[in-house]
Amino acid sequence: MKKITSLLTLVFLLLTAAAQAQGTIRGTVVDGENGTPLPGVNVVVEGTTNGVSTDFDGMFTIQVVENTGSVRVSYVGFAPKVIPFDLSGQKVIDLGTIKLEMDSDALDEVIVKAYSLAIDRKTPVAVSTIKAETIENELGSQEFPEILKTTPGVYVTRGGGGFGDAELRIRGFNSQNVAVMINGIPVNDMENGNVYWSNWAGLSDVTSSMQVQRGLGAAMIGLPSIGGTVNIVTKSTDIAKGGNVMMATGNDGYTKYGFTLSTGMLENDWAATISLSRTTGEQFVDATTIDAYSYFINVAKKLGENHELSFTAFGAPQRHGQRQNRLLIDDFRRSPRGIRTNTDYGYKNGQLVNYEDNFYHKPQISLNHYWTINEISSLTTSVYASFGTGGGGGIAGVNKFGKYNTDYRDEEFAPVNFDQIVAENKALGAATSAETVLRASRNNHQWYGALSTYNTELSEYIDLTAGVDVRIYKGDHYTELTDLLGGAFFLDNNDENNPNKVVREGDKYNYYDTGYTNWAGVFAQAEYNKDALSAVVSAAANTTYYKRKDYFNYLDSDPARETDWIDFPAFSTKGGVNYRLDDVNNVFANVGYFERAPFNDAVFLNFQNDVNADAKNQKIFSAEVGYGFRGDNFRADLNVYRTKWSDRTYTIARTDQNGNQQIANILGLNQLHQGIELEMSYRPIETLTLTGMASVGDWKFANDINNVQVFDDQQNPIGDPIDVYLDGVKVGNSAQTTFALGADYLVLASTTVRASFNYAADYFASYDPTGRLQPNLPQTWEMPAFGLLDLGLTHRFEFGGFNAQINANVFNVLDTEYISDAQDGNNSVAETALVYYGAGRTYTVGAKINF
What pLDDT band is residue 114 in, cutting at 50, 70 and 90? low
Instruction: Inform me whether the pLDDT recorded for 17 exceeds 50.
Output: no
Non-local CB neighbours of 147 within 8 Å, separated by 6+ positions: 130, 134, 135, 138, 139, 204, 210
Per-residue model confidence (pLDDT) at position 104: 40
Q: How far apart are CA 663 and CA 660, in angstroms?
A: 10
Instruction: Inform me whether the pLDDT recorded for 400 exceeds 70.
Output: yes
Per-residue model confidence (pLDDT) at position 45: 85
Per-residue model confidence (pLDDT) at position 713: 64
Backbone φ and ψ of 318, nearest 5°: -155, 160
Considering the domain architecture, whether residues 501 and 617 belong to the same structural domain is answered as yes
Instruction: Inform me whether the pLDDT recorded for 148 exceeds 90.
Output: yes
| C-alpha separations of 719 from 545, 692, 709, 712, 716 in Å | 34, 53, 8, 10, 9
Higher pLDDT among residues 237 and 14, named by residue = 237
| C-alpha separations of 736 from 117, 250, 760, 782 in Å | 27, 32, 8, 11
Per-residue model confidence (pLDDT) at position 223: 61
Per-residue model confidence (pLDDT) at position 204: 85
Q: The whole model's pTM is what?
A: 0.86
Per-residue model confidence (pLDDT) at position 105: 39
Q: How far apart are CA 283 and CA 286, in angstroms?
A: 7
Instruction: Inform me whether the pLDDT recorded for 226 exceeds 90.
Output: no
Considering the domain architecture, whether residues 151 and 21 belong to the same structural domain is answered as no
Considering the domain architecture, whether residues 54 and 148 belong to the same structural domain is answered as no
The mean predicted confidence, pLDDT, of the chain is 88
What pLDDT band is residue 120 in, cutting at 50, 70 and 90? confident
Helix (H, G, I), strand (E, B) or coil at 114: helix
Q: How far apart are CA 312 and CA 183, in angstroms?
A: 10
Considering the domain architecture, whether residues 9 and 109 belong to the same structural domain is answered as no
Span 47-84, pLDDT tens digits: 776 778 787 678 888 888 778 888 888 875 577 888 99
Q: How far apart are CA 555 and CA 738, in angstroms?
A: 54
Per-residue model confidence (pLDDT) at position 220: 57
Considering the domain architecture, whether residues 7 and 118 belong to the same structural domain is answered as no
Q: Which of 103, 121, 145 is the last residue of a domain?
A: 103
Q: Out of 412-421, 582-591, 670-679, 800-809, pick the least confident.
A: 800-809
What pLDDT band is residue 670 in, cutting at 50, 70 and 90? very high
Helix (H, G, I), strand (E, B) or coil at 165: coil
CATH of residue 14's domain is: 2.60.40.1120
Q: How far apart are CA 117 and CA 108, in angstroms?
A: 12
| C-alpha separations of 664 from 241, 352, 708, 828 in Å | 57, 38, 7, 22
Considering the domain architecture, whether residues 268 and 288 belong to the same structural domain is answered as yes
Higher pLDDT among residues 41 and 620, named by residue = 620
Instruction: Inform me whether the pLDDT recorded for 843 exceeds 50.
Output: yes
Per-residue model confidence (pLDDT) at position 505: 97
Per-residue model confidence (pLDDT) at position 438: 96
Which is it for strands 705-708 and 585-596: parallel, antiparallel or unpaired? unpaired
Phi-psi region of 215 (alpha: psi -120 to 50; beta: other; left: phi over 0): left
Per-residue model confidence (pLDDT) at position 240: 67
Q: Which of 81, 103, 125 is the last residue of a domain?
A: 103
Considering the domain architecture, whether residues 76 and 159 belong to the same structural domain is answered as no
Span 425-456, pLDDT tens digits: 999 999 999 999 999 999 999 999 999 999 99
Per-residue model confidence (pLDDT) at position 659: 57
Classify residue 168 by its DSSP letter.
E
Bridge partners of residue 731, in order along the sequence: none
Span 369-385, pLDDT tens digits: 999 899 889 999 999 99
Using a pLDDT cut of 70, give the percent of the chain over it: 92
Classify residue 45 by its DSSP letter.
E
Considering the domain architecture, whether residues 498 and 552 belong to the same structural domain is answered as yes
Span 319-334, pLDDT tens digits: 999 999 999 999 999 9
Rounded to an integer, the average pLDDT of 102-115 is 48
* Stretch (H or E) spanning 376: none
Considering the domain architecture, whether residues 810 and 827 belong to the same structural domain is answered as yes
Q: How far apart are CA 172 and CA 627, in angstroms?
A: 22
Considering the domain architecture, whether residues 89 and 153 belong to the same structural domain is answered as no
Instruction: Inform me whether the pLDDT recorded for 575 exceeds 50.
Output: yes
Span 705-735, pLDDT tens digits: 888 888 776 667 888 888 889 999 999 989 9
Rounded to an integer, the average pLDDT of 281-287 is 95
Rounded to an integer, the average pLDDT of 477-501 is 95
DSSP string, 284-311: SSTT-EEEEEEEEEEEEEEETTTEEEEE
Determine contact, residues 765/732, Cβ cutoff 8 Å: yes
Burial of 325-359, coded b for 16+ CB within 10 Å and e otherwise, reads: ebbbbebbeebeeebbbbbbbbebeeeebbbbbbb
Determine contact, residues 645/668, Cβ cutoff 8 Å: no
Q: Which of 48, 73, 103 is the last residue of a domain?
A: 103
Rounded to an integer, the average pLDDT of 783-791 is 97
Q: Out of 253-262, 397-406, 812-821, pick the least confident.
A: 397-406
Instruction: Inform me whether the pLDDT recorded for 517 exceeds 50.
Output: yes
Which is it for strands 416-417 and 346-348: parallel, antiparallel or unpaired? parallel
Per-residue model confidence (pLDDT) at position 225: 76
What pLDDT band is residue 16 in, cutting at 50, 70 and 90? very low
Per-residue model confidence (pLDDT) at position 666: 81
Instruction: Inform me whether the pLDDT recorded for 14 exceeds 50.
Output: no
Per-residue model confidence (pLDDT) at position 154: 95
* Stretch (H or E) spanning 143: none
Instruction: Inform me whether the pLDDT recorded for 118 exceeds 80.
Output: no
| C-alpha separations of 237 from 43, 308, 381, 763, 818 in Å | 13, 10, 17, 43, 43
Strands (E), 581-687: 585-596, 604-605, 610-611, 618-630, 634-655, 661-685
- The range of the structural domain enclosing residue 312 comes to 104-850
Considering the domain architecture, whether residues 484 and 553 belong to the same structural domain is answered as yes
Per-residue model confidence (pLDDT) at position 69: 87
Backbone φ and ψ of 285, nearest 5°: -75, 140
| Residues 322-325: contacts with CB under 8 Å, at least 24 apart | 322/160, 322/162, 322/165, 322/288, 322/354, 322/356, 322/357, 322/358, 322/392, 323/160, 323/161, 323/162, 323/285, 323/286, 323/288, 323/356, 323/836, 324/160, 324/356, 324/394, 325/160, 325/356, 325/403
Instruction: Inform me whether the pLDDT recorded for 553 exceeds 70.
Output: yes
Which of the residue ranges 67-71, 215-219, 623-627 has the most confident prediction, judged by mean pLDDT? Answer: 623-627
Span 157-180, pLDDT tens digits: 999 999 999 999 999 998 888 989
Per-residue model confidence (pLDDT) at position 311: 94
CATH of residue 352's domain is: 2.40.170.20
Q: How far apart are CA 448 and CA 308, in angstroms?
A: 22
Rounded to an integer, the average pLDDT of 831-847 is 96
Span 796-819, pLDDT tens digits: 888 887 888 999 999 999 999 999
Task: Work out how many domains the chain is built from and give that number.
Answer: 2
Considering the domain architecture, whether residues 354 and 227 belong to the same structural domain is answered as yes
What pLDDT band is residue 11 in, cutting at 50, 70 and 90? very low
Q: Report the 10 Å Cβ neighbour count for 571.
A: 16
